[in-house]
Amino acid sequence: MKAVLASNNKHKLVEIKTMLKDKIREIYTLKDMGIEIEIEENGTTFEQNAYIKASTIAKLTGLPAIGDDSGICVEALNGEPNIYSARYAGEPCNDANNNKKLLDKLHALEAKTGVVNRKAYFQSVVVLCYPDGSYISGSGKTYGQIIDEYRGTNGFGYDPIFLSDELGKTFGEAVMEEKNTISHRSRALKDLLQKLNSEKA
């Protein structure tokens, strides 16, 4: 199968390409296809936003397209920033400002209540959409804690402040191969692949 990735996020492109390479023979990026597009993510769930991205690109290219939407959900903040993770601190979208806003909010809660629950999870939904609009989706989560310091320089987004329960280190300290073994995106992709395989069976 050939497919197009409906994303311009370089880190996600590498992660998704690496994980799907055995199943999808040729994966093109938007850049490969000469497509420059801003897709408005106006859904209210990860799945709706992933579908909006994948279906827009599938219709535009006539090829199956893969869209993903992901974010971090923090228990003490009632699940914030959720689908707003990329733009949490407003424009311009910036990882440093997003991380700072999250830590500031937790500090404010801590100052008010004395303790703060730092449990959080990343969620990813990956949608494979065909040009006719039909689709298959996969979902994955990975759990951890938000820590008060920045640890590690790998990855992107909230990686340096997310201490993974399973790895015992932050995603910023983990190398990509390690992160891929337990990440929300790898779990969403595995879920998607399982559904694809059972559809073909």
Q: How far is the CB of 55 from ligand IMP (least distance, A)?
A: 15
Coil, strand, or helix at residue 135? strand
Those residues with Cβ within 8 angstroms of residue 101's Cβ, 6 or more apart along the chain or in another chain? 88, 89
Place of tokens 């999808």: 24
Instruction: Kindly determine how many residues on this chain lie close enough to bind ligand IMP according to the rule CB under 6 A.
Output: 16
**Longest CA span, the chain:** 56
Q: Is 158 in the site for ligand IMP (CB under 6 A)?
A: yes
- Return the residues of window 107-126 that contact ligand IMP according to CB under 6 A: 122
Mask of contacts with ligand IMP, 56-95, x by CB under 6 A? -------------xxxx------------xx---------
Given 47, 159, 173, 191, the residue binding ligand IMP (CB under 6 A): 159
Q: Is 69 a catalytic residue?
A: yes
Given 155, 174, 192, 193, the residue binding ligand IMP (CB under 6 A): 155
Q: Is 154 in the site for ligand IMP (CB under 6 A)?
A: no
Q: How far is the CB of 190 from ligand IMP (least distance, A)?
A: 15
Residue 117: count other Cβ atoms within 10 Å of its Cβ: 15
Instruction: Pick the closest to residue 69 from 1, 32, 16, 131 (CA basis).
Output: 16
Half-sphere exposure of 78 (CA within 13 A, CB side): 0
Q: Is 164 in the site for ligand IMP (CB under 6 A)?
A: no
Q: Is 156 in the site for ligand IMP (CB under 6 A)?
A: yes
Any idea how long the chain is? 201
Q: By beta-carbon distance, which residue lies closest to ligand IMP?
A: 157
For residue 62, give the amino acid letter: G
CB 129 within 8 A of CB 55: yes
Binding footprint of ligand IMP on the chain (CB under 6 A) = 9, 69-72, 85-86, 98, 122, 155-159, 171, 183
Positions marked catalytic: 69
